[in-house]
Amino acid sequence: MSSYFEINELKAEIEGKPILNGLSLTVAKGETHALMGPNGSGKSTLANVIMGHPAYEVTGGEILFEGENILELDPEERARKGLFLAFQYPVAVPGVTVASFLKHAHDAVYGEKKLKAAEFLKQLRADMDFVGVDQTFLNRYLNDGFSGGEKKRMEILQMLTLRPRMAVMDETDSGLDIDALKVVSMGVNKLVGAEFGLLVITHYERILRYIHPDHLHVLIDGKVAFSGGPELVKRLEEEGYDWVRNEFGKEALMA
Amino acid sequence: MSMNDTALAEKASETIAGFTEEAFSALTQPGNPLLRGKREEAFAEYLRLPAPHAFDEEWRKTDPALFRFDTWSALPSAAAGSVQPTDWDSAFDVVVQVDGASVSIEDRTGILSAGRAYVASLFDAAEEHPDWVQQYLQGAALPASTDKFTALNGAFWNVGIFIHIPEGTKLEKGIFLRYRQRETGAVLIPRLVIVAESGSEATVVEHLESDDEVSMGVVSARELYVDQAARLKFLTLQEWGRGTYQIGNDMAVVQRDAQVDWITLNLGSQISKLKFGSDVAGPGSSAELDGIFCTDTDQHIDQTTLQIHSAPHTYSRLLYKGAVMDQGHSVYRGIIQAKPGAIKVDAYQTNNNLVLSNGAIADTIPGLLIDADDLKCSHGATIGNLDENQVFYLRARGIPEHEARKLLILGFYDEILDRIPYASIRDRVHELLVEKLDRVL
């Protein structure tokens, strides 16, 4: 099987400090992968590098999406190829309304195939209902004064709006109460399917009760230290994250 | 005479090129005696007051020598053609067109003939309502002694407009003043007086335009009088061409329980040196002052705002937002003044600046003059570039970088654009900003 989304020997640093030290993992089409690891292991750096944040410098390796090395693409080109990052800390954008932002994003990603304004709005309203975002948010400034939970729902709403083919979720579960977590997971699961790849970056096993991964990777010191299939996921579900901690030692997994 | 007095006397003897004793005599003969009296009073002040110099604090960032009055021949003639109507006109009750020095007034909804407002040239107003002109022209808002250019305006104004809203009258649509200047080499000297009598409500909008090729000077002065419990909304969209150099001085006096909402949109001109503000002069009065500015190429916009509180229990809020690009330069000075006895005052001032190019400069200079206690007063200023995390966030959603930056800059202005009471003007400002941004980004 040709690879769908493949990270090979990725090395990256920020402000001269190496964070990723030869990270490799592969997500096949239709699969959901979970990436776990302690603070400082490089989880968020990986998410930002995948999307092309200019503050991070890639010093080696490649990221292939459908055979193309996306490291050579601008962030907007990656998004237009069908890549999506749900941010851990979505920034507030005062002055730009949710409706305007989503329409611009939709138009940019879909280009010629974009929906007409009325059609777009209809779909958007349906998606908002689905993830429990009130319609009044359309006219609010993006993430401005939103609670943590509202911001995360907004990320999922954006994901539903743009319908990516490969998504990375960077600790979307952090700071969510169980109800919000269920809603967010429901939104994600709407996209999960044969034509979709998903990489869930998380600190906690909790979200994996709602979004079921096919594979699990453990990230330590900027490298995948351990990977496994369904049996590993099952063990994690049964024994919790403590098991990983015992396996790899407390020092490495200090939270 | 002390050294200082001598120096002052020498400076005072300076006249602005073209605005001499001879020019003044020619202008005022014979003329309406009331207006002539006002002009003479102003001319005496104009001769007495020192000419500004680059070493004056107020002119430190904008050298007055940049205003080449020697290249402009005093007065614009009455225009040959007439200004074409625009599709904005239908949003207003009255449209005033100023073309060169000629003023024409269109009473679109019949409010003038019904006596629900009075709009006239100052020449007509002096004949028809001398008591009003006597009271308000060069009145409490801008006395002739204000400064040399205000006095020059008082002595030499060549476009005069007087607007009076009678007691308790509420205008549904508003009054639109459209300035189109096409004559190169002239100095336009407009004087605008607006009186909103007690309990009245009105909106007055000015739109200032000239072609880039037209080389001209503007020395403007506006006096706004907002009487008890009246509400005046005043908006100026300044899109002068790049050959226009403007010096302006405007002031609103707001009486008990009255309110002025004042929006300035300074996007055009080559150099503008503007001073304006409000005096909340009666208890319970308030002023809401909003402004945007944007300079590109080598434009220079220097603005001073005044929030004067001369009465207790008064409120003023100011928000000025600007962006500078290319070699553009903006200067903002914000002065809050609470006079003795002005207790229970709330005064807020915010000035935010985006510096979008390496060669561009934004200066912000706050000033507080407080002679009272028991008041709430705050001011804040920011100068910075766009937040790169915001840019990345938008790009991560597929929005191209230049589009992302444009959206963020328009977003920066949005809360003020949102307060513009006419969709047509909002759209125009949006369009002007997009033109500038598309060229630079």
**Chain B partners within 8 Å of A80 (Cβ):** 398
For residue B42, is it within any domain? yes
Contact at 8 Å (CB) between B261 and B416? no
B418/A contact by beta carbon, under 8 A: no
Q: Do B398 and A109 touch (CB under 8 A)?
A: yes
Cα distance from A98 to chain B (closest Cα, Å)? 12
> Structure tokens of B152?
């020059």
A145-191, pLDDT tens digit by residue? Answer: 999 999 999 999 999 999 999 999 999 988 888 988 999 999 999 99
B84-121, pLDDT tens digit by residue? Answer: 788 999 999 999 999 888 899 999 999 999 999 999 99
User: Considering only CB atoms, which residues of chain A are within 8 Å of chain B?
Assistant: 51-55, 74-76, 78-80, 85, 87, 90-91, 93-96, 100-101, 104-105, 108-109, 141, 158, 162
Query: Hunting for tokens 């330590």 — which residue is that?
Result: A220
- In this predicted structure, what is the pLDDT of residue B1? 41
Closest CA to B267 of B209, B317, B344, B218: B209
For residue B333, is it within any domain? no
- Does the structure show a pLDDT above 50 at B291? yes
Mutate to test the interface with A, among B397, B416, B419 (most CBs of A within 10 A): B397
CA distance B299 to B284: 39
**CA of B418: which chain A residue's CA is closest?**
A95
- Does the structure show a pLDDT above 70 at B5? no
Q: Are residues B395 and B254 in the same domain?
A: no
Count other C-beta atoms under 10 Å from residue A139's C-beta: 10
Closest CA to A69 of A92, A54, A52: A52
For residue B264, is it within any domain? yes
CA distance B312 to A42: 59
Count other C-beta atoms under 10 Å from residue B382's C-beta: 12
User: Once rounded to an integer, what is the mean pLDDT over residues A25-36?
Assistant: 95
Whether the bond between B30 and the residue before it is cis, its omega within 30 degrees of 0, is: yes
What count of residues does chain A have?
Answer: 255
CA distance A100 to A98: 6
- pTM of the entire structure? 0.93
CB-defined contacts A:B, below 8 A: 82
Dump the DSSP string for B110-152.
STTTTTS-EEEEHHHHHHH-HHHHHHHTT-SSS-TTS-HHHHH
- In this predicted structure, what is the pLDDT of residue A203? 81
Helix (H/G/I), strand (E/B), else coil: B381 = strand
**Chain A partners within 8 Å of B411 (Cβ):** 93-96, 141
A34-51, pLDDT tens digit by residue? Answer: 999 888 899 999 999 999
- In this predicted structure, what is the pLDDT of residue B375? 86
Q: Do B390 and A91 touch (CB under 8 A)?
A: yes
Mutate to test the interface with B, among A51, A81, A93 (most CBs of B within 10 A): A93
Closest CA to B386 of B441, B320, B309, B329: B441
Cα distance from B323 to chain A (closest Cα, Å)? 15
Fold observed for domain A5-248: Rossmann fold (3.40.50)
Helix (H/G/I), strand (E/B), else coil: B56 = coil
Contact at 8 Å (CB) between A202 and A173? yes
Q: Do A141 and B411 touch (CB under 8 A)?
A: yes
- In this predicted structure, what is the pLDDT of residue B3? 47
Q: What is the complex's ipTM, to 2 decimals? A: 0.94
Q: Do A91 and B393 touch (CB under 8 A)?
A: yes
Contact at 8 Å (CB) between B295 and B329? yes
**Chain A partners within 8 Å of B400 (Cβ):** 74, 76, 108
CA distance A107 to B213: 39
> Structure tokens of B24?
């003044």
Name which of A128-137, B6-15, B254-263, B358-367 the model is least confident about: B6-15
**Chain A partners within 8 Å of B393 (Cβ):** 87, 90-91, 93
Facing A91 at nearest CB: one of B389, B407, B410: B389
CA distance B48 to B152: 11
For residue B15, is it within any domain? yes
Q: Which domain holds residue B412?
A: 389-441
- Does the structure show a pLDDT above 50 at A31? yes
> Structure tokens of B54?
């680059």
A77-121, pLDDT tens digit by residue? Answer: 999 999 999 999 999 999 999 999 999 999 999 999 999 999 999
**Chain A partners within 8 Å of B387 (Cβ):** 91
CA distance B305 to B365: 11
Confidence label for B82 from pLDDT (cuts 50, 70 and 90) = low
Name which of A205-214, B78-87, B132-141, B397-406 the model is least confident about: B78-87
Q: Do A104 and B399 touch (CB under 8 A)?
A: yes
Confidence label for A235 from pLDDT (cuts 50, 70 and 90) = confident
- Does the structure show a pLDDT above 60 at A134? yes
B31/A contact by beta carbon, under 8 A: no
- Does the structure show a pLDDT above 80 at A254? no
Helix (H) or strand (E) holding B426: helix B423-440
B266-283, pLDDT tens digit by residue? Answer: 999 999 999 999 999 999
What value, to the nearest 5°, has the Cα angle with vertex A132 and ends A129 and A136?
75
Which residues touch B397 (CB under 8 Å, ≥6 apart)? A76, A79, A101, A104, A105, A108, A109, A158, A162
In a 10 Å sphere around its CB, with 0-12 CB exposed, 13-18 middle and 19+ buried, how is residue B134 labelled?
middle
- Does the structure show a pLDDT above 70 at B10? no
CA distance B297 to A248: 60
- Does the structure show a pLDDT above 60 at A251? no
Closest CA to B349 of B331, B363, B368: B368
For residue B102, is it within any domain? yes
CA distance B122 to B164: 12
**CA of A104: which chain B residue's CA is closest?**
B399
Which residues touch B33 (CB under 8 Å, ≥6 apart)? none
Residues of chain B with pLDDT > 70, as a percent, come to: 95
CA distance A188 to A165: 12
Residue type, A14: I
Confidence label for B372 from pLDDT (cuts 50, 70 and 90) = confident
Please give the tally of structural domains in chain B: 2
Residues of chain A with pLDDT > 70, as a percent, come to: 93
Domain ranges of chain A: 5-248
Name which of B3-7, B122-126, B259-263, B399-403 the model is least confident about: B3-7
Helix (H/G/I), strand (E/B), else coil: B349 = strand
- Does the structure show a pLDDT above 70 at A253? no
CA distance B276 to A146: 37
Helix (H/G/I), strand (E/B), else coil: B340 = coil
**Chain B partners within 8 Å of A105 (Cβ):** 394, 397-399
B397/A contact by beta carbon, under 8 A: yes
Confidence label for B328 from pLDDT (cuts 50, 70 and 90) = very high
- In this predicted structure, what is the pLDDT of residue A72? 94
Q: How would you classify the pairing of strands A93-97 and A141-142? A: antiparallel
For residue B362, is it within any domain? no
Contact at 8 Å (CB) between B117 and B93? yes
For residue B212, is it within any domain? yes
CA distance B167 to B280: 19
- In this predicted structure, what is the pLDDT of residue A252? 47
